Structure 1
Amino acid sequence: MCVRLMLPGEKSIVTCPPDFAYDKFPRPVNVPEGAHVRWEIELLGFEVPKDWTGLTFKEIMEEADKIKNTGNRLFKEGKFELAKAKYEKLLREYNHVHPQDDEEGKIFANSRSSLHLNVAACYQKMGEYRKSIEACNKVLDANPVHVKALYRRGMSYMLGGDFDDAKNDFEKMVTVDKSSEPDATAALVKLKQKEQEIEKKARKQFKGLFDKKPGEISEVGMESKNGGDTAGSGEAVTSRDRDGSGKSSPPSAESDHAFDEEKPGLIGRIWPSARRIFSSLGLNRCTIL
């Protein structure tokens, strides 16, 4: 942001927070961890992007190759975000390019497809497999038998865990172009290895979940059933003991009085008559204070 506002020969003091000071670069010994970093920048010069207006198609393609080569260099250096920005800038500029004949159209289409696939490669390196697949689809929408696009999309499918889709793309490569069979075969071998790795991890993760023998669950059920039968037998025996054929012992005096009705008190005896009197007077409820 600072450099964009500077003029050639101008110097600026820049202060950067620790999160953006060094990134992947090693921190100097004399700079404590978490410290803000200040440095001086002098802008020696810059190149103004060439305006494509008025250029011939050949000149436009030459300028595009320069920007593309810069993106390729950044990609090789592992700066995938910066490389992607170069490719996407070219694709935006391509919206204003109009080939004049079939030959120019073919060159332009190949260049645009190459840029889309380079963007897909950047997304793939960045771990954004779904976006990589979308970039490949832009090529395959225009040319469904583009071998390189099928290969790159298949790799993104594989890395994203969509093994069936990856297999379909690799197999389609061979049907489209027999010369791509070695690459497709190598990709299918790699896909098989990836599937085995995932399966091995899944087995390890769920190890012990299904270790029980098939009969153990049914045995538990049998034990419960047997236990229920035993309980039922116990109840039956108790009933027979209670209602057995032998003569039962005579009830004790305590049990004789267990079901005797309780005799009502004075209030209990006069309440029915009083209730009828209250009802005849139209009083359904009466509260005695």
Structure 2
Amino acid sequence: MVAFKASEAFRIDDDELDEEPVHYVGSLIDGTKFDSTRDKDEPFSSKLGYGQVVTGFDHAIITMKKGEIALFTLPPELGYGAIGRNGVPPNCVIQLEVELISWITVVDICKDGGIIKRVMEKGEQAGPPGDLDEVLVKYQVRQDDGAIIATTPEEGVEFHVKDGQFCPALPKALKTMRKGEKVNLIIQPQYAFGEMGSKSTNEFPSIPPCSVLNVDLELVSYKPVINVTDDSKVLKKILREGEGTLTANEGAVVTVRYTAMLEDGTVFEKKGFDEGPLEFITDEEQVIAGLDRAAVTMKKKEQAILTITPEYGFGSTAVKCDRAVVPPNSTLIYEIEMLDFVKEKAPWEMTSQERLEAAERKKEEGNLLFKDGKYLRAGKKYDKAADYVHEDAPFGDDVEKLVKALRVSCWLNGAACSLKLNDFQEAIKLCSKVVDVEFHNVKALYRRAQAYLRTADLHLAESDVKKALEADPHNREVKLIQKNLKQLQAESDKRDAKLYANMFVQTTKDPSVGTKRLKVEKVEDDKRGEEVTTTEMEKVAVNSAPPPV
């Protein structure tokens, strides 16, 4: 027996309610019965938070487990209060014998009453599907009068969530469901077929205007689809989840087998079957970019289907492969299994000597890529090399000087890559790291000045040029920047002088006219200035940056 006090708190979630089928018998303390669902031989469906019986009834229900029978004693303030009703006198303590038969979660999916979901059977723990995922569902659709409109085959239907099925409400509902979940949906016209209804098709009969639909929906399963490259040009559909949580990484040695096809099903390559598994190192251009990028997202034993657009495949070139020629601009399909991988060691897993050797190796790889014009990949190599000899990494005094020089070299080379890629802010950041430890490093000041010129920070560029020439008065590259800088500053001064001259002349004649013309001329001058500045700055030797050191 449980007694409640009015001060006990109860809260209902704004977008999720519980609906509980219960039996209850209400009686006074002397045993006089005033209400009973058992006499009606039908359970009562209670919606929490609506006070459908009495306030204390909601308090009681949330303490119960499915199948439990309990007797609750409620004070008047949680019962029928000072007025009383239904045969209960005023200010009367009552008793409720309650059996919680089950409970149903009710969700207002769009928070406007347009799609109400009642969870009939909960699904697994794994999260709901997303727009790209491929789902297998079963459903039956009925009108208000119970007439069946549509039923899926026994095996269900498969589709991508974003592509939808039957009516707009289904994708919205599916994105709230879990694998194995069964629900009942009440769908208002605005999420079904609206005021117009729909004409009959080969699949479905006609649906009258303003129809409210009742749908029994089951999410049988789904296959996650991963947007590998964030631009939807390499998609990975997982057929079988891999083991554990670890995936391969850049620089990992991966072992795979795959069947590669064109969109029409033509197999152009098979690897890892009769001749044994295929092994390659990720991020080394040993396979096409799409396959390489997808491999680092895979777990051991994972099976997937990759869809790779030409940008990450063979591009606009025809390529002869083992079994067929891949035409230009072909989208490729790979059925792949990740058999195994050995991740590249992280810096914290290495000894000091191993980190030093790895940094030297990555730097040299970056140099080769830089010479080949592969600046993005070269920059990544320099970043990795710098990580291996990070400032916080412990090194002995005997190699500290070598480590510092290697670190500075990687930052400088990374800045050179950033300049080539027009990533001037990154170039400034890397050069600043060098200047922080070597105040008069000419290469760092020179490359940062280049970046400042391209961001139109002329005063900062002038400061770096001045410092560089103090350290190396005869440096040819720095003098070239100085020459361009003076020209840019002269152009800027000329524009400013013209602007102020116009301001003086016009304001002495007619202040209001002067102000208007000043605004127009300033905009025009700014535009011309931008054109000149850009043209002149492009003359600066960004494209002739010294090779890596």
Residue 151 (structure 1) shift? 0.9
TM-score by length of 2: 0.32
Deviation by residue 1:33-89 (Cα, 9 ceiling, x = unmatched): xx633368899x9986467756563x5433322211111222233332222221222
Amino acid at match of 1:99: F
1:15 is aligned to 2:262: no
Residue of structure 2 in register with 1:285 after alignment: none
Please state whether the residue corresponding to 1:113 is helix, strand or coil: helix
Distance in 1 separating the partners of 2:507 and 2:440: 55
Amino acid at match of 2:258: K
Residue 91 (structure 1) shift? 2.1
Residue of structure 2 in register with 1:124 after alignment: 419
Consecutive unaligned residues in structure 1, runs of 5 or more? 222-289
Residue of structure 2 in register with 1:100 after alignment: 396
Residue 177 (structure 1) shift? 3.0
Amino acid at match of 1:218: K
Residue 187 (structure 1) shift? 1.9
Residue of structure 2 in register with 1:148 after alignment: 443
1:185 is aligned to 2:476: no
Q: Is the 8 A contact 1:12 1:42 kept in 2?
A: no
Distance in 1 separating the partners of 2:332 and 2:350: 45
Please state whether the residue corresponding to 1:119 is helix, strand or coil: helix
Residue of structure 1 in register with 2:142 after alignment: none
Number of residue pairs matched by the alignment: 208
Residue of structure 1 in register with 2:361 after alignment: 66
Please state whether the residue corresponding to 1:10 is helix, strand or coil: strand
1:26 is aligned to 2:316: yes
Amino acid at match of 2:374: K
Query: Could you say if the C-alpha distance between residues 113 and 219 of structure 1 is closer, same or farther in structure 2, counting changes exceeding 3 Å?
Result: closer
Greater share of helix: 1
Distance in 2 separating the partners of 1:16 and 1:122: 28
Query: Could you say if the C-alpha distance between residues 18 and 215 of structure 1 is closer, same or farther in structure 2, counting changes exceeding 3 Å?
Result: same
Query: Could you say if the C-alpha distance between residues 211 and 219 of structure 1 is closer, same or farther in structure 2, counting changes exceeding 3 Å?
Result: closer
Q: Is the 8 A contact 1:12 1:41 kept in 2?
A: yes
After the TM superposition, which residues 1-289 of structure 1 pair with which residues of structure 2 at under 5 Å, given as runs? 4=248, 7-8=254-255, 10-13=257-260, 14-17=306-309, 20-21=312-313, 25-28=315-318, 30-31=327-328, 36-38=331-333, 49=344, 55=351, 57=353, 60-95=355-390, 97-101=393-397, 103-178=398-473, 180-194=474-488, 214=505, 218=509
Compare CA radii of gyration and give the structure with the larger one.
1
Residue of structure 2 in register with 1:257 after alignment: none
Consecutive unaligned residues in structure 2, runs of 5 or more? 1-227, 229-235, 237-246, 261-305, 319-325, 513-549
Amino-acid identity (%): 28
Residue of structure 2 in register with 1:268 after alignment: none
Please state whether the residue corresponding to 1:8 is helix, strand or coil: strand
Query: Could you say if the C-alpha distance between residues 46 and 71 of structure 1 is closer, same or farther in structure 2, counting changes exceeding 3 Å?
Result: farther
Amino acid at match of 2:395: P
Greater share of strand: 2
Q: Is the 8 A contact 1:147 1:173 kept in 2?
A: yes
Amino acid at match of 1:72: N
Q: Is the 8 A contact 1:133 1:153 kept in 2?
A: yes
RMSD: 4.3
Query: Could you say if the C-alpha distance between residues 31 and 174 of structure 1 is closer, same or farther in structure 2, counting changes exceeding 3 Å?
Result: closer
